[in-house]
């Protein structure tokens, strides 16, 4: 019986699909994403389930919404007992591997992966805890402000380039190891920090773009309550950025999108060189987007399109060449992976997503909606919910006015239809669904309880001798390269592909 296909998922951080050539941007160069879309499926209405790094990634791994698994923010622990797609794939016979970022908070830094090749780029502790008792106060350790826009530039190197270069190097090397050791399928996640701010890129990527040709954000006033909070949270009120600074930030972001794309190309090339490409499903996605100056906002934390939508491109054996417009979200990845693996076993927990595999292989529609929950900083002490179905997106918060957008007629989300008489029935139906789907007060109390516990635990663990949860990859130099415990020929055969005999 033939093995199910290998799986390689390449994840960007803060990549809005609107700023990629693969999704039609006229300037941004993404030839490797373009090539995958040209032979696979491009989802045009894919969303994260929480527009912030750690909660989005935990939801993606678990196939569950953040209120179900209590991973509310960038400092909420991801419990080790929650089944992830890595657990399911590993139980199905896959070798599972993570190279790069996943922003796991807590002592479990594997969450089902058999091995992790690098440390994380962000801390694993609970120091970045928001305070919903004082929702207007900034987190002391939280570094987002407008300096990332003001300081955009080209540079010879940054910590983010060092991190991604390492993650890609180890991933490529492990791909060849998989080719040469064993017949079991593998599932690898290669998760990079780019194009996340700071908007600083290496010169070779900066120079891909004519600075004067960089397009500027569309001018639109901030009007809704949540956007106003975000503007305060990123300190946009403490001095406007100039047009020149905005252009440089977008230039740096575009350059780093191209850098991320170049790494997609390196991973695909490694699969080709290892003769694995024809047996591997390749997925490119992100944890959330970046407003990048649109609507006067930057970074994420918003349910507006540039923050909430993510790229989702899938290519590989059996995958149709198509674009798909029906909404879906990152919680759909886990059940999709189970279908790829042929796993029909019992679930360890209820899932909030459905498999996209029928869509990918037969063109059958299985998912028609995207649901999201935001329970982190800059929320008003209450969760902010999102429902995307058909052409409409509905945003609900107990203490804010509702928002309703027709994304077909108004892709820039300029006109809130929540009080439009012509859309009264649609708005009422969404409001009733939100009330039935979520107990906002209960979620608020759960978030507050989580934050209160962490505000006791965090300072206690910072006193005296600290035991870090940050991951240190194991490495045994006695088993690497040429050693006296193995013959020279053994090393050649183990670390060369194709093996030496193939050339005789």
- Structural domain span for residue 188: 6-365
Domain-located, residue 318: yes
Segment (H or E) for 273? helix 243-273
Asked whether residue 437 carries a pLDDT value surpassing 90, the answer given is yes
pLDDT at 223: 81
Domain-located, residue 88: yes
Asked whether residue 325 carries a pLDDT value surpassing 50, the answer given is yes
Banded model confidence at residue 182, pLDDT cuts 50, 70, 90: confident
**Spatial separation of the C-alpha atoms in residues 109 and 146, rounded to whole Å:** 31
Query: Are 227 and 161 within 8 A, CB to CB?
Result: no
pLDDT in tens, 412-436: 999 999 999 999 999 999 999 999 9
Banded model confidence at residue 503, pLDDT cuts 50, 70, 90: very low
Asked whether residue 83 carries a pLDDT value surpassing 70, the answer given is yes
**Spatial separation of the C-alpha atoms in residues 1 and 488, rounded to whole Å:** 35
Burial degree of 275 (CB within 10 A; 0-12, 13-18, 19+): exposed
Residues with Cβ within 8 Å of 302's Cβ and at least 6 positions away in sequence, in order, are 51, 226, 227, 230, 291, 308
Of the candidates 70, 87, 103, 226, the residue annotated as catalytic is 103
**In 354-487, where does DSSP find H-type helix?**
357-362, 424-437, 440-461
pLDDT at 239: 65
Domain-located, residue 73: yes
Domain-located, residue 351: yes
Nearest to 75 by CA among 504, 461, 488, 342: 461
103 is catalytic: yes
| Higher pLDDT, residue 145 or 356 | 356
pLDDT at 235: 84
Query: Are 70 and 450 within 8 A, CB to CB?
Result: yes
Q: Is the pTM of this model over 0.85?
A: yes
Mean residue pLDDT across the chain = 95
pLDDT in tens, 239-248: 679 999 999 9
Banded model confidence at residue 159, pLDDT cuts 50, 70, 90: very high
Q: CA 412, 417, 420, 421: dihedral to nearest 10 degrees?
A: 120
Q: How many folded domains does the chain comprise?
A: 1
**Spatial separation of the C-alpha atoms in residues 261 and 32, rounded to whole Å:** 6
Query: Are 59 and 331 within 8 A, CB to CB?
Result: yes
Min mean pLDDT across 298-312, 403-417, 425-439, 473-487 is at: 473-487
**Spatial separation of the C-alpha atoms in residues 288 and 48, rounded to whole Å:** 6
Asked whether residue 134 carries a pLDDT value surpassing 80, the answer given is yes
Instruction: Assign residue 241 the CATH number of its domain.
Output: 3.40.720.10
**Spatial separation of the C-alpha atoms in residues 488 and 482, rounded to whole Å:** 7
Domain-located, residue 345: yes
Q: What is the DSSP string of 33-47?
A: HHHHHHTSEEESSEE
Banded model confidence at residue 1, pLDDT cuts 50, 70, 90: low
Nearest to 3 by CA among 187, 188, 172: 187
State what percent of residues in the chain have pLDDT above 90: 87
Strands 41-43 and 6-13: unpaired
The two three-digit tokens of residue 331, written as one number? 């919680």
Long-range contacts of 157-162, Cβ-Cβ distance < 8 Å, separation of 24 or more = 157/202, 158/198, 158/200, 159/121, 160/121, 160/193, 160/194, 160/196, 160/198, 160/200, 161/194, 161/202, 161/259
**Spatial separation of the C-alpha atoms in residues 143 and 35, rounded to whole Å:** 36
Nearest to 447 by CA among 153, 111, 102, 75: 75
| Span between the terminal Cα atoms of the chain, in Å | 32
Domain-located, residue 483: no
Neighbours of 421 (CB within 10 A): 8
Q: Is 284 helix (H, G, I), strand (E, B) or coil?
A: strand
Query: Are 288 and 56 within 8 A, CB to CB?
Result: yes
Query: Are 374 and 303 within 8 A, CB to CB?
Result: yes
Of the candidates 53, 277, 328, 397, the residue annotated as catalytic is 53
Domain-located, residue 266: yes
Strands 369-374 and 384-389: antiparallel
CA 98 to chain centre: 14
pLDDT at 489: 82
53 is catalytic: yes
Strands 115-116 and 95-100: parallel
**Spatial separation of the C-alpha atoms in residues 187 and 96, rounded to whole Å:** 5
Domain-located, residue 202: yes
pLDDT at 484: 87
pLDDT at 495: 85
Query: Are 181 and 490 within 8 A, CB to CB?
Result: no
Q: Is the peptide bond before 500 cis (omega within 30 degrees of 0)?
A: no
Which residues share a beta bridge with 161?
none
Do you know the residue count of the chain? 504
Residues with Cβ within 8 Å of 482's Cβ and at least 6 positions away in sequence, in order, are 488, 491
Query: Are 328 and 43 within 8 A, CB to CB?
Result: yes
Neighbours of 238 (CB within 10 A): 9
Q: Is 204 helix (H, G, I), strand (E, B) or coil?
A: helix
Query: Are 201 and 261 within 8 A, CB to CB?
Result: no
**Spatial separation of the C-alpha atoms in residues 66 and 52, rounded to whole Å:** 11
């Amino acid at each position: 019986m033939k093995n199910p296909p290998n799986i390689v998922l390449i994840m960007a951080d803060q990549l809005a699909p609107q700023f990629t050539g693969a999704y039609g941007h006229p300037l941004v160069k993404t030839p490797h994403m373009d090539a995958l879309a040209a032979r696979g499926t491009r989802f045009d209405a894919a969303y994260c389930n929480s527009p912030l790094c750690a909660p989005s990634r935990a939801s993606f791994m678990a196939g569950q919404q953040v209120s179900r698994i209590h991973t509310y923010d960038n400092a909420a622990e991801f419990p080790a007992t929650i089944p992830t797609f890595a657990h399911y794939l590993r139980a199905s016979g896959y070798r599972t591997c993570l190279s790069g970022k996943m922003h796991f908070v807590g002592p479990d830094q594997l969450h089902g992966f058999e091995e992790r090749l690098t440390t994380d780029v962000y801390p694993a502790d609970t120091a970045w805890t928001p305070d919903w008792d004082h929702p207007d106060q900034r987190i002391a350790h939280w570094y987002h402000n407008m300096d990332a826009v003001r300081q955009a530039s080209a540079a010879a190197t940054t910590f983010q380039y060092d991190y991604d270069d390492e993650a890609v190097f180890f991933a490529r090397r492990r791909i060849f190891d998989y080719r040469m050791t064993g017949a079991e399928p593998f599932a690898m996640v290669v998760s990079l920090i780019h194009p996340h701010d700071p908007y600083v890129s290496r010169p070779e990527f900066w120079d891909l773009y004519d600075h004067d040709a960089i397009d500027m954000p569309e001018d639109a006033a901030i009007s809704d309550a949540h956007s106003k909070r975000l503007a305060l949270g990123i300190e946009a009120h403490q001095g406007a950025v100039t047009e020149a600074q905005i252009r440089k930030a977008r230039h740096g972001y575009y350059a780093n999108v191209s850098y991320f794309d170049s790494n997609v190309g390196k991973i695909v090339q490694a699969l080709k060189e290892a003769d694995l490409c024809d047996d591997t499903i390749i997925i490119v996605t992100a944890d959330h987007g970046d407003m990048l100056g649109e609507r006067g906002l930057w970074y994420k934390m918003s349910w507006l399109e540039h923050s909430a939508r993510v790229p989702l491109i899938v290519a590989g054996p059996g995958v149709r060449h198509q674009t798909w417009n029906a909404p879906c979200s990152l919680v759909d990845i886990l059940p999709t992976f189970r279908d790829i693996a042929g796993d029909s076993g019992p679930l360890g927990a209820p899932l909030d997503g459905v498999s996209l595999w029928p869509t990918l292989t037969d063109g059958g529609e299985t998912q028609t909606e995207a649901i999201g929950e935001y329970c982190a900083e800059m929320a008003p002490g209450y969760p902010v919910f999102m429902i995307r179905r058909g052409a409409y997106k509905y945003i609900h918060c107990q203490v804010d006015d509702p928002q309703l957008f027709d994304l077909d007629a108004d892709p820039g989300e300029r006109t809130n239809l929540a009080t439009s008489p012509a859309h009264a029935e649609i708005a009422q139906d969404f409001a009733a669904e939100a009330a039935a789907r979520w107990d906002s007060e209960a979620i608020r109390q759960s978030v507050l309880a989580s934050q209160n516990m962490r505000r006791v635990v965090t300072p206690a663990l910072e006193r005296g001798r600290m035991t870090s949860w940050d991951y240190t990859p194991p490495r045994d130099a006695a088993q690497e390269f040429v050693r006296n415990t193995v013959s020279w020929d053994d090393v050649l055969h183990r670390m060369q592909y194709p093996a030496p005999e193939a050339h005789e």
